[in-house]
Amino acid sequence: MALKRNALGRGLDSLISMGDIRTDGSSAISEIEISRIVPNPDQPRRTFDEDTLEELASSIRELGVVQPLTLRLGEDGDYQIIAGERRWRAARKAGLFTVPAYVRTVSDTEMTEMALIENIQREDLNSIEVALGFKKLIDTYHLTQERLSERLGKKRATIANHLRLLRLPAEIQLGLRDRKLDMGHARAILAIDDPKLQLKIYQRILKEGLSVRAVEELGRKLSGEQGDSNVRQNKEKSSEIAALEKDFTDLFTMPVTVKRTSNGKGSVTLKFESEEQFRKLVETFRRLQS
């Protein structure tokens, strides 16, 4: 099933102005030797379908490269691809020696942004590649989601939704990468906290071709069954938990709540209501450490 995406609100053209293009002679487009062009190591797109590359190569043999690449001149004299790696790969297959290109002077940040925008606009990226592109920009250049939203002209909620995909189990992320399910299915799966349940639903999607609505209903059903199981187990352990809460409350002289789930996870919450209680809590911890 194909992944549907909206184009970025801010176009690639808004980041690439003709006034910034470095040209040879009077033309705005230069012919660059293919042997001097290298891929962008931060290219967000990771997979290139060989069949479609061969189709594009056949077209290039007949018509040439219709849309110029966008390149950056590196310090070693080679050109790094900002946009157009697929065209470059196909041109090599077609046996071309040169390709038409714009040559730009851009920073590393701008280069990464342009590569991401160009691919999303052309709908060449799957949702995981988009998410990894967003994450790389955030991590490398210390951006907030809000700032990234401003830079790319994309809604903050869209960026957040893509980043959440990276919390899914690796098997489901691979399914998204290979377009075995779409963003709607992934968001429905993310509503479930248990990774085992997430994988169980993912397998059902592959086997039964479930719709997004069916996945949402299945998630509620399975979560409800798990919740009932947790309730039964909690009842069995309620006396033990209550005893622990009382012991902790007596020790710290403040209300303590203990929560535990069926998979062994949980939390211990200490509630203090004044600065004095907080200081006493700190003193108790230090006393226990000594």
- What amino acid positions are annotated as catalytic residues? 85
Do the Cβ atoms of 77 and 112 come closer than 8 Å? no
CA pair distance 162, 128, nearest whole angstrom = 7
Q: Evaluate whether 121 touches 10 at the Cβ level (below 8 Å).
A: no
Measured CA to CA in angstroms, residue 20 lies from 106, 113, 120, 152 at distances of 9, 16, 23, 19
Secondary structure class of 97 (helix, strand, coil): coil
Three-class SS state of 24: coil
The b/e string for 14-50 (b: 16+ C-beta within 10 A; e otherwise) is: ebbeeeebeeeeeeeebebebeebeebeebbbeeeee
Euclidean distance between CA atoms 1 and 215, whole angstroms: 15
Q: What values do phi and psi take at 247, rounded to 5?
A: -60, -45
